[in-house]
């Protein structure tokens, strides 16, 4: 069976890119012919390793070139990019003749369902239904976010199957006849559980508005005043790095918070961590939580939409905090720092709970979905 995945790019270190690499590698190993088609790869290497049998094709659309334009210029330039993208993708699908083409909610989402190449068209989403409204943008951008939230709802109905990550998000989309819930599988890190005895709290993600590291830094000011020998390390890259450095400097937290680049040696990070923090304003199903659980880490996370509520049982394998509540975030981190027995109990529960997200189990759901459509 031939399967095409469409995504903007695979060069980022994000969870969606990690999930795609995991799925594509698994399917390639099990005899599927896999293509990854990008619009904005622009000769950059994939961040996560891909099986040599996977064919990677970049259409060289370069939507990113428009990112720094004004709102009006974006409106002017986007239609030409979309036309070029559709023509290139249509020609490619006609040549490949896949059985199933999947959009990972990249820029092709608006037109992929219209392409008449005979492949079944699936759409998978890695964020929540109301993500755009959580940007908290103002003016024309706010109006655009409201409009695009409406457009999203109309688009997802056009696809034969619409795959979401959590039961929480499924409920938000309502009773769509094409909706299916398939969570992310945990990455096989091939490592032993953390001993939970290092004076280290870790957070992982892009340095952007979504991940809320500005909130975590404020929370850490409260933690550091009680536990000055503990260190918060944030691993990632992004446009807000300079702002975070200035925030850390202003709060006199240099040496107590470390900003480290994204790493491919993530298993070593988890092994040397005692608590995992997630301060996101919104998510889909955070891979970092699944990975942390697989190494037996207790978690303190904002109960944002969506994902943390599906993965964390409050008081069992971690703590769920009201989104944006910096004081409670700090208080729960302090509680775990101060109680090694609680850290151990929660870490053991995390190891137990993550068994429901093992690759073989989750990928079997995808394979059943693919096979059922191929045999229709």
* Consecutive H or E run containing 335: helix 326-337
Residue 275 pLDDT greater than 70, yes or no: yes
Place of tokens 């000769």: 43
Q: Is the pLDDT of residue 25 over 70?
A: yes
> Which domains are assigned to the chain?
2-185+358-374 (3.40.50.2000), 200-356 (3.40.50.2000)
Instruction: Please check the confidence at residue 75 and state whether its pLDDT lies above 80.
Output: no
Residue 258's pLDDT is: 98
Q: Which of 349, 345, 342, 330 is nearest to 230 (CA)?
A: 330
State how far the Cα of 350 lies from the Cα of 273, in Å rounded to an integer: 14
Q: Which residues pair with 232 in a beta bridge?
A: 201, 257
Q: What is the pTM of this model?
A: 0.89
Q: What is the mean pLDDT of residues 25-41?
A: 98
| pLDDT tops 70 at residue 374 | no
Answer whether residue 239 shows pLDDT above 90: yes
pLDDT band at 336 (very low <50, low <70, confident <90, very high): very high
For the chain, give the number of residues: 376
Residue 111 above 80 pLDDT?
Answer: yes
State the pLDDT at residue 373: 67
Per-residue pLDDT at 308 exceeds 90? yes
pLDDT in tens, 146-182: 999 999 999 999 999 999 999 999 999 999 999 999 9
Label residue 328 by pLDDT band (50, 70, 90): very high
Which residues have a Cβ under 8 Å from the Cβ of 248 and sit 6 or more positions away? 217, 254, 257, 259
Please say if the pLDDT value at position 68 is more than 90.
no
Q: Check pLDDT > 80 for residue 114.
A: yes
- Least-confidence region, from 2-16, 110-124, 125-139, 328-342: 125-139
8 A C-beta contact, residue 284 and residue 129? no
Report how far Cα 83 is from the mean position of its chain's Cα atoms: 28
Averaged pLDDT for residues 121-144:
91
Q: Residue 119, by phi and psi: left (phi above 0), alpha (psi -120 to 50) or beta?
A: beta
């Amino acid at each position: 069976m031939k399967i095409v995945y469409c995504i903007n790019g695979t060069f980022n270190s994000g969870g969606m890119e990690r999930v795609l690499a995991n799925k594509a590698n698994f399917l390639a190993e099990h005899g599927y012919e896999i293509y990854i088609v990008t619009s904005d790869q622009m000769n950059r290497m994939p961040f996560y390793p891909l099986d040599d049998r996977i064919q990677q094709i970049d259409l060289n659309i370069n939507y990113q070139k428009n990112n720094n334009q004004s709102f009006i210029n974006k409106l002017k330039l986007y239609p030409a990019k979309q036309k070029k993208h559709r023509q290139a993708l249509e020609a490619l699908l006609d040549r490949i003749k896949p059985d199933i083409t999947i959009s990972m909610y990249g820029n092709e989402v608006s037109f992929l369902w219209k392409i008449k190449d005979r492949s079944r068209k699936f759409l998978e989403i890695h964020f929540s239904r109301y993500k755009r409204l959580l940007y908290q943008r103002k003016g024309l951008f706010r109006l655009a976010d409201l409009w695009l939230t409406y457009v999203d709802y109309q688009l997802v109905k056009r696809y034969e199957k619409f795959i979401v990550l959590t039961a929480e998000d499924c409920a938000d989309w309502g009773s769509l006849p094409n909706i299916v819930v398939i969570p992310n599988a945990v990455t096989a890190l091939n490592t032993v559980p953390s001993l939970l005895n290092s004076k280290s709290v870790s957070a992982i993600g892009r340095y952007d508005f979504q991940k809320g590291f500005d909130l975590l830094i404020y929370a850490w000011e409260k933690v550091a005043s009680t536990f000055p020998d503990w260190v918060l390390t944030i691993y990632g890259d992004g446009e807000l790095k300079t702002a975070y450095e200035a925030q850390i400097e202003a709060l006199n937290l240099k040496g107590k918070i470390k900003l480290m680049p994204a790493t491919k040696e993530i298993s070593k990070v988890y092994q040397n961590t005692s608590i995992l923090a997630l301060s996101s304003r919104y998510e889909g199903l955070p891979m970092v939580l699944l990975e942390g659980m697989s190494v037996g880490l207790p978690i303190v996370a904002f109960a944002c939409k969506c994902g943390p509520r599906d993965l964390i049982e409050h008081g069992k394998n971690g703590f769920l905090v009201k989104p944006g509540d910096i004081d409670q975030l700090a208080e729960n981190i302090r509680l775990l720092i101060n109680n090694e027995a609680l850290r151990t109990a929660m870490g053991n529960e995390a190891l137990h709970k993550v068994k429901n997200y093992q690759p073989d189990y989750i990928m079997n759901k995808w394979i059943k979905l693919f096979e059922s459509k191929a045999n229709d």
